[in-house]
Amino acid sequence: MDGDLLHGLNGAQCDAVTSQAAVLQVLAPPGSGKTKTLTARVAYLIAHQQLKPWNIIVCTFTVKAASEMKERITGFVGAEVAKQLKLGTFHSISLRYLKQYGQHIGLDKDFGIADSSDSKAIVKRIIKQHDLTIDAGQARNRISTQKAKGIDSEQFLSSAKKIEQQEFATVYREYEATLKASNLLDYDDLLLRCGFLLRKHPQCVSNVEALLIDEFQDTNNIQYDLMALFAQRQNVITIVGDPDQSIYGFRCAEIKNLSRMKQQWPDTFTINLEENYRSSGAILNAAQRIIEQDESRPPKSLQATHSPGMRPILRKLPSATGEARWLVSEVQRIQAMTGGLLQPGDFAVLLRSAALSRTIESALNKAEVPYRMIGGTRFYDRAEVKLIIDYLRVINNPANSEAVERIVNVPARRVGEGTVKSLHEEARSEGVSLWSLVLDTVQGRCKPKTKVTDATHKGLAVFVNVILTCQRKVLDSKTEPIALVDLMNTVLKKLCFEAYLKKKYAEEYEARWANIEELIAQATEASDPERLRAMLQEDALPAIDGLEQRTASSTEDMLSMFLASTALAASSEEKPEEEGRKVQQLTISTIHAAKGLEWPVVFIPACYDGSLPHSRADDNDEERRLLYVGMTRAQALLYLSCPIKNTQREETTLSTFLIQPGVTGFFEEHGPSITLHGVTGLATTLRRDCPQKATIDEAKRKIERDEDSYWPLNGEEPVEEVAKWDHGKGSGMLPAFGTTRPAAGFTSAAVTMQQGFSTASATIKPEFISANARFEELREQAQLKKVDHRVQQTNNKLDGKPKGGKRQIEGQGSIAGFFAKRSKPEQVLEAHERDAVAFSSVRPLQEVRNLPAESRPKMAEPRIMDFTKHKPRNAPLHGKPNTVTHHMHKADNRYVFLDSSPPQAETDENQTSDTVPTSDVVEVETSQTKVRPASTFHTTTVQTAAPQRKTYGVRRSMNGWSNRGGKTR
DNA sequence: TTCCCGACCCTTTTT
DNA sequence: GGGTCGGGAA
């Protein structure tokens, strides 16, 4: 047993798993085997300390972490034992205690859970009603903060001095009153009330022998209290955490809880895990460089166990859409260049905010790359799903006036917003629920003050009928429980829901209906008596002598259980059906939701001030940790990127965390060139079989270019295909990487992957180079630019007639032909290609390859231009092109020297912009991208899966597309 | 006068 | 997806 349990663990991990300490802290940096250690310890406690699994509580913060933990523990101890563990999020475990022992603290049996939309709606209504000026969202957060601090509304009111505080106190008080009247608990209440229960009735947890907590750095004070309460009998506690990964400060997480714990239990034993098994050395170095910017942070060691690998990439792009297009092209390029070693499932896009996903999703859709979204809108929060859930909630608990308000006029029943608001207000002032006012109105028992037209009255009657019919169904089933799924079908039928969706969403209807089908499938599962029994058993807490328990049995209970589970569900889509093999999907996720996960290739787009760090964040250190968490998700390849214009077309500034001195040295400016050797190294790192060369070559033929060379490194727009070939339109071209760097630069860029895997240490660029060296570099760039110009002119002569963009694309299709016919040995060709790339102005390598040998660019005599005097306006040639927008950064009232640009670059720009030679002024006509009809975007899940349950990959309407594309006008 | 619907704006992170 | 505004229908 020991052998199995401890197999593959390192010394520190073993110590942690087998530690005899009662209170144990395991400090585990990213990729150090945190979950592995925690799960092994659970198994160890059962196997070697003879603890009963049902006496062990394991707490996580997210549902996803809970299910992963369960899976891993099952691997150790088997499903039977794993099921008996009390494992879940803090909220779900609290809910179990409240459901079973809530009556001891006067909690009604059928309390519902107020989700965020309920809470927000309540707050909003109170604010409006009192004509206050505070922001609803902020007030809602503030209530949560107060609750997390354990300050109730009365306490707050008594200490409220300022008018503003008193206003908030009013909102807080009425919010609490509304929850109580609606028989609802919000998320914070679940924890608070559970704490209250366990304090009052400690015998509820008298059976608990051990408590284990994951991601402890994210606990807030209530959760800390709960920890102490859960463990109050035996005080056996294991926590794992990492202060560097604390990213829930906004939820009042207290990193201090680590030291608080040591004070409370002075015998606390601490074990540090220090070896990283996830990321390549180069990625780890870069991430360390970022996190170390926090000077208040104690220095820590984190050892890489992998070879340095490929250096991470920091890429500049013109716009959010450009960034998305580039990202997709890199996904495709890397996939092809590795000959299928990497599949879509190996890529993840991690975002600061979920809203950023839209542009990326539409680019992925366009390229038909399958993806799934974690975080952002939860399945149960999708309009159509939420609506049905709200109907069920009202059927279960009509006192929930917020839910009534949301559904009373959906589908439209001529009950307008004004009427509903007014009725709601009237109900509130009468001290009744909205539902009972509506019911009495419809049944003629009362005549509301609010004006109700005939049409509206009719509409209300229809609504009341739906609810009453369904409630009757539930009640009638007391003797013979009906399945939840029947109830749901009744609702759908009564609403003619399918027809409603068809009308409302037109061409998007299918995806919406698929979501409903998924919901039905879930209800079917929940209705299965077998499953239900199993679930009840799993949820049940051990019987305690002399303490009465409530147990669920009827349809009513089934309904409220189902609703509770939807309220606490993960904000993620379920795993796609795995039929035989894994369905390959790229993952889009918020960084928060990605914690604890890993992928071979990770993209973090939108790395600019305002997004990361977010403009609304008040703790920059936390934002930095967020970047750190994101970066450390990557195993082999990490891309950070930044559009130089945001979605509002304003100029952006590269993230503060990335413009610190020395940071750029850890990054490449463009995606890696990938050699066969590199693929081998990658395969080794990921412990996968290396694909055959033929497979790689085959895959390469399908992509447009095999280098990340289309988007200029300085973040400007690439020259459109048409402009490239239309020689009449001026010759100055914007540089892509292969064209502005001297050949030597290109070589060094191309070599990274080989170098990374074959040598012991990654080469790190010097942080600064001397001004002199810099000047040399500038001169070299200038020469190149002139050469480019020459080459262009030569080409004009060689290749007289202009070509259209379309034809050029056709040309790209024949790369394969070129390969087949080529007569030169590969190495010679490579050298030639290098030159060609270095000297052709904009043509990507593939195009150059397509040219007949005699028209390929030739070496030309460079003409030296003095760059202290001349600078092309639109071709930013201050050395590395991407240094243009951020030469200097003002911080702490002094200027910080960035990106290793020489100071004269700044003055240069101002003084000499008028002396630009006209031939270097670029004028590019960009053609609009064609808009595809919305219908082509709908299914985002791979077609081959053919799942029984429909997939629900479509997240939302893709506004931009469906508005313009699909509709007739 | 009230309601409905399309068009257009902006969007922190989670239970 | 939510909020708001304005045109057109009831």
DSSP, collapsed to helix, strand or coil, labels residue A367 as: coil
**How many other CB atoms sit within 10 Å of the CB of residue A564?**
20
Peptide bond into A613 cis (omega under 30): yes
Q: For residue A33, say whether it is annotated as part of any ligand binding site.
A: yes
pLDDT value, residue A403: 93
C-beta within 7 A of nucleic chain B, residues 416-455 of A: 416-419, 451, 453
**Of A273, A296, A324, the domain-final residue:** A273
Q: Summarize pLDDT for A517-559 with one digit per residue, the tens.
A: 999 998 888 887 777 778 777 888 888 878 888 876 677 778 8
Q: What is the CATH number of the domain that holds A390?
A: 1.10.486.10
pLDDT value, residue A648: 76
Same-domain check for residues A733 and A862:
yes
Distance A218 CA to C3 C1' (A): 33
Of residues A155 and A809, the one with the higher pLDDT is: A155
**Would you say the C-beta of A117 is within 7 Å of strand C?**
yes
Confirm whether A800 is domain-assigned.
yes
CA angle A442, A468, A392 (to 5 degrees): 120
pLDDT value, residue A573: 55
**Would you say the C-beta of A198 is within 7 Å of strand B?**
no
If you count them, how many residues does chain A have? 969
Side-chain half-sphere of A377: how many Cα atoms within 13 Å?
Answer: 18
**Would you say the C-beta of A456 is within 7 Å of strand B?**
yes
Q: Inform me whether the pLDDT recorded for A920 exceeds 50.
A: no
Q: Which two tokens stand for residue A215?
A: 């991601």
**Of A527, A561, A596, the domain-final residue:** A527
Distance A650 CA to B10 C1' (A): 14
Give CA A509 to chain center in angstroms: 26
Q: For residue A35, say whether it is annotated as part of any ligand binding site.
A: yes
Report in angstroms the alpha-carbon separations of A121 from A112, A376, A460, A510, A592. 16, 19, 21, 30, 25
Q: Summarize pLDDT for A573-597 with one digit per residue, the tens.
A: 555 555 556 678 999 999 999 988 9
**Would you say the C-beta of A455 is within 7 Å of strand C?**
yes
Confirm whether A368 is domain-assigned.
yes
C-beta within 7 A of nucleic chain B, residues 120-159 of A: 137, 141
Q: For residue A29, say whether it is annotated as part of any ligand binding site.
A: yes
Q: Summarize pLDDT for A604-660 with one digit per residue, the tens.
A: 999 999 999 999 898 999 999 999 999 999 999 999 999 998 877 788 899 999 999
Q: Using the CA of A386, give the nucleotide whose C1' is nearest.
A: C1
pLDDT value, residue A924: 26
pLDDT value, residue A956: 32
Confirm whether A570 is domain-assigned.
no
Q: What is the CATH number of the domain that holds A262?
A: 3.40.50.300
Percent of chain A clearing pLDDT 90 (strictly above): 45
Q: What is the DSSP letter of A934?
A: G
The pLDDT of A776-787, averaged and rounded, is 43
- What is the maximum span of chain A, computed from C-alpha positions, in angstroms? 98
pLDDT value, residue A579: 54
Strands of the sheet containing A86-89, edge to edge, are A86-89, A56-60, A210-213, A237-241, A23-27, A269-272
DSSP, collapsed to helix, strand or coil, labels residue A184 as: strand
Distance A717 CA to C7 C1' (A): 39
Q: For residue A30, say whether it is annotated as part of any ligand binding site.
A: yes
pLDDT value, residue A550: 82
Which positions on chain C have an atom < 7 Å from some protein CB? 1-3, 10
Same-domain check for residues A885 and A861:
yes
The pLDDT of A380-392, averaged and rounded, is 92
CA–CA distance, A615 with A621 (Å, rounded to integer):
13
Q: Which two tokens stand for residue A779?
A: 């001169």
Distance A24 CA to B14 C1' (A): 27
Q: Summarize pLDDT for A408-464 with one digit per residue, the tens.
A: 998 888 898 889 988 998 998 899 999 999 999 999 998 888 888 888 898 999 999
Question: Computed over its alpha carbons, how large is the radius of gyration of chain A?
Answer: 31
Of residues A921 and A671, the one with the higher pLDDT is: A671
Q: Using the CA of A416, give the nucleotide whose C1' is nearest.
A: B3
H or E segment at A634? strand A634-643
pLDDT value, residue A176: 95
Q: Which amino acid is at A606?
A: A
Distance A161 CA to B5 C1' (A): 46
Distance A339 CA to B13 C1' (A): 37
Same-domain check for residues A757 and A798:
yes
Same-domain check for residues A302 and A401:
no
The pLDDT of A948-963, averaged and rounded, is 31
C-beta within 7 A of nucleic chain B, residues 476-495 of A: none
What does residue A56 show for φ and ψ, rounded to 5 degrees?
A: -110, 130
pLDDT value, residue A81: 93
CA–CA distance, A451 with A204 (Å, rounded to integer):
52
A24 neighbors A47 (Cβ within 8 angstroms): no
Q: Identify any residues that bridge with A890 across adjacent strands, giving them in sequence order.
A: A895
CA–CA distance, A300 with A310 (Å, rounded to integer):
24
Q: What's the pTM value of the predicted model, to 2 decimals?
A: 0.75
Q: Which two tokens stand for residue A566?
A: 């939807």
**Would you say the C-beta of A412 is within 7 Å of strand B?**
yes
**Would you say the C-beta of A26 is within 7 Å of strand B?**
no
C-beta within 7 A of nucleic chain B, residues 370-399 of A: 375-376, 378
Parent domain of A157: 115-181
Confirm whether A614 is domain-assigned.
yes
Distance A69 CA to C2 C1' (A): 36
Sequence-separated (6 or more) residues with CB below 8 Å from residue A739 = A709, A733, A784, A788, A837, A838, A839, A840, A841, A842
The pLDDT of A55-67, averaged and rounded, is 91
Same-domain check for residues A44 and A101:
yes
CA–CA distance, A206 with A198 (Å, rounded to integer):
10
Q: Classify burial at A322, counting beta carbons within 10 Å of its beta carbon; exposed 0-12, middle 13-18, buried 19 or more.
A: buried
Q: Classify burial at A590, counting beta carbons within 10 Å of its beta carbon; exposed 0-12, middle 13-18, buried 19 or more.
A: buried
The pLDDT of A925-944, averaged and rounded, is 28
Q: Inform me whether the pLDDT recorded for A572 exceeds 80.
A: no
The per-residue pLDDT of chain A, averaged, comes to 75
Helical segments of A686-804, H only: 693-700, 721-725, 737-740, 743-758, 771-798
**How many other CB atoms sit within 10 Å of the CB of residue A814?**
15
Side-chain half-sphere of A755: how many Cα atoms within 13 Å?
Answer: 15
pLDDT value, residue A5: 85
Residue by residue, DSSP assigns A240-283 as EE-GGG---GGGTB-TTHHHHHHHHSTT-EEEE--EE-SS-HHH
Q: What is the CATH number of the domain that holds A140?
A: 1.10.10
Angle between helices A743-758 and A676-685 (to 10 degrees): 30
Same-domain check for residues A642 and A758:
no
Same-domain check for residues A221 and A164:
no
Confirm whether A278 is domain-assigned.
no
pLDDT value, residue A607: 95
CA–CA distance, A124 with A907 (Å, rounded to integer):
52
Same-domain check for residues A757 and A869:
yes
pLDDT value, residue A767: 31
Q: Summarize pLDDT for A477-526 with one digit per residue, the tens.
A: 765 666 788 999 999 999 989 888 888 887 778 888 988 999 999 888 88
Q: For residue A947, say whether it is annotated as part of any ligand binding site.
A: no
Of A649, A644, A664, A668, the C-alpha closest to A876 is: A644
pLDDT value, residue A375: 78
Same-domain check for residues A412 and A354:
no
Q: Inform me whether the pLDDT recorded for A195 exceeds 60.
A: yes
**Would you say the C-beta of A592 is within 7 Å of strand B?**
yes
**Closest residue by Cα to the C1' atom of nucleotide B13?**
A592
Q: For residue A917, say whether it is annotated as part of any ligand binding site.
A: no
Side-chain half-sphere of A624: how many Cα atoms within 13 Å?
Answer: 22
Q: Which amino acid is at A324?
A: A
Confirm whether A553 is domain-assigned.
no
The pLDDT of A56-73, averaged and rounded, is 91
A900 pLDDT band, cuts 50/70/90, is: very low
Same-domain check for residues A809 and A893:
yes
A957 pLDDT band, cuts 50/70/90, is: very low
DSSP, collapsed to helix, strand or coil, labels residue A60 as: strand
Confirm whether A714 is domain-assigned.
no
A760 neighbors A848 (Cβ within 8 angstroms): no
Same-domain check for residues A176 and A192:
no
Place of tokens 């509820």: A204
Angle between helices A509-527 and A497-505 (to 10 degrees): 150
C-beta within 7 A of nucleic chain C, residues 373-392 of A: 377, 381-383, 386
Distance A923 CA to B3 C1' (A): 51
**Would you say the C-beta of A627 is within 7 Å of strand B?**
no
CA–CA distance, A750 with A673 (Å, rounded to integer):
5
Which positions on chain B have an atom < 7 Å from some protein CB? 2-15
**Would you say the C-beta of A914 is within 7 Å of strand B?**
no
A101 pLDDT band, cuts 50/70/90, is: very high
Confirm whether A659 is domain-assigned.
yes
Q: Domain count for chain A, please give it.
A: 5
Distance A522 CA to B14 C1' (A): 23
Q: Summarize pLDDT for A230-260 with one digit per residue, the tens.
A: 999 999 999 999 999 999 999 999 999 999 9
CA–CA distance, A438 with A427 (Å, rounded to integer):
9
A695 neighbors A340 (Cβ within 8 angstroms): yes
**Would you say the C-beta of A504 is within 7 Å of strand C?**
no
C-beta within 7 A of nucleic chain B, residues 247-286 of A: 247-248, 250-251
Distance A451 CA to B3 C1' (A): 14
Sequence-separated (6 or more) residues with CB below 8 Å from residue A113 = A95, A184, A185, A186, A187, A190, A563, A564, A567, A568
**Taking the C-alpha atoms of A109, A115, A119 and A125 in order, what is their torsion angle to the nearest 10 degrees?**
-100
pLDDT value, residue A871: 26
**Of A181, A205, A235, the domain-final residue:** A181
Sequence-separated (6 or more) residues with CB below 8 Å from residue A365 = A936, A937, A940, A958
Percent of chain A clearing pLDDT 70 (strictly above): 72
pLDDT value, residue A387: 93
Report in angstroms the alpha-carbon separations of A562 from A111, A115, A208, A258, A525. 13, 14, 27, 36, 10
Side-chain half-sphere of A207: how many Cα atoms within 13 Å?
Answer: 15
**How many other CB atoms sit within 10 Å of the CB of residue A95?**
26
The pLDDT of A380-389, averaged and rounded, is 91
Of A709, A719, A723, the C-alpha closest to A803 is: A723
For A63-178, list the strands marked E by DSSP.
Answer: 86-89, 112-114
A887 pLDDT band, cuts 50/70/90, is: very low
A2 pLDDT band, cuts 50/70/90, is: low
CA–CA distance, A59 with A56 (Å, rounded to integer):
10
CA–CA distance, A309 with A759 (Å, rounded to integer):
9
Q: Inform me whether the pLDDT recorded for A123 exceeds 90.
A: yes
Q: Summarize pLDDT for A158-176 with one digit per residue, the tens.
A: 988 888 888 899 999 999 9
CA–CA distance, A375 with A248 (Å, rounded to integer):
15
CA–CA distance, A241 with A228 (Å, rounded to integer):
17
Q: Summarize pLDDT for A324-369 with one digit per residue, the tens.
A: 999 999 999 999 999 989 999 999 999 999 999 988 988 998 888 9
Helical segments of A634-770, H only: 676-685, 693-700, 721-725, 737-740, 743-758
Of A572, A620, A621, the C-alpha closest to A594 is: A572
A347 neighbors A327 (Cβ within 8 angstroms): no
Q: Inform me whether the pLDDT recorded for A185 exceeds 90.
A: yes
H or E segment at A56? strand A56-60
**Would you say the C-beta of A410 is within 7 Å of strand C?**
no
Same-domain check for residues A173 and A234:
no
Distance A623 CA to B14 C1' (A): 16
C-beta within 7 A of nucleic chain B, residues 281-340 of A: none
